[in-house]
Amino acid sequence: MPSIPQPLLPEDDGAADPAVAAALAAFAAGTGDVARVAAALGTARLLVPVVAVLTSTEIGENGLAREKESEMALPVLVGADGRKAVPAFTGSEPLRRWRADARPIQALTPQVCRAALGEGADAVVVDVAGPAPFAIEGGVLRALASIGGAPADGDGVQGLLQGLAPHAEVTVARVREPRRGLFRRRR
């Protein structure tokens, strides 16, 4: 019989880590830098969204289509220039702000970065809907992915969500991001 996996941090109340929130706010205000944010994120817990994606329908007795099967999916943001990013959130409130139907999976920042690289993503976008969005990309993405293990450890979505549901099929859903410059750094 499959067991329900234990949360990464059982006492987690869904609040953002105060050090991460402060570093992101300072960066957004122009008083902080990427190094401070990366240092705060280095060992921080993030919430990765998982959403249900309809995979097949059937026609009911009333002639209307209804859900027959669905899978859990890790959404992937796609920028206007075609680059992919994995969304992650500092807490449950920023996650709800982005997509209220998403369910949070706890993961440490290095795990999220390794999963993004494993999926061929160019970035991890933290708190895409605010309060202070931040793109982990390039050398920072690779550096954070290397914390605690080789970059290939836990490769991809399956590695990140291992233990979520022992028999669940996990796919990657592409979400179009309408804003230009999704990964553009602020100066």
Cα angle: 112, vertex 39, 162; to 5 degrees: 20
**Alpha carbon distances (Å) from 6 to 14, 101, 157:** 15, 22, 18
**What's the rounded Cα separation, in Å, for the pair 133 and 163?**
29
Q: Which pLDDT value is given to residue 51?
A: 85
- Distance between terminal CA atoms of the chain? 53
Residue 94: predicted pLDDT: 96
pTM of the model: 0.73
Please name the residue that has the structure tokens 């959403």.
51
Token digits of residue 119: 């999926």
Rg (C-alpha) for the chain, rounded Å, is: 17
Q: What H or E segment, with its residue span, contains residue 139?
A: helix 138-145
For the chain, 187 residues long, give each residue's pLDDT as a single digit of tens: 444 445 566 677 899 999 999 999 999 999 999 999 999 999 899 999 988 776 666 777 887 776 666 677 788 898 888 899 999 999 999 999 999 999 999 999 999 999 999 989 999 999 999 999 999 999 999 999 998 864 444 444 444 444 333 333 333 444 444 343 444 433 3
**What is the predicted pLDDT for the residue at 49?**
94
Instruction: List the chain domain ranges.
Output: 45-176
Q: How far apart are CA 111 and CA 154, in angstroms?
A: 7
Residues 6+ apart with CB under 8 A from 123: 83, 84, 85, 86, 116, 135, 136, 137, 141, 183
* DSSP-derived 3-state class of residue 46: strand
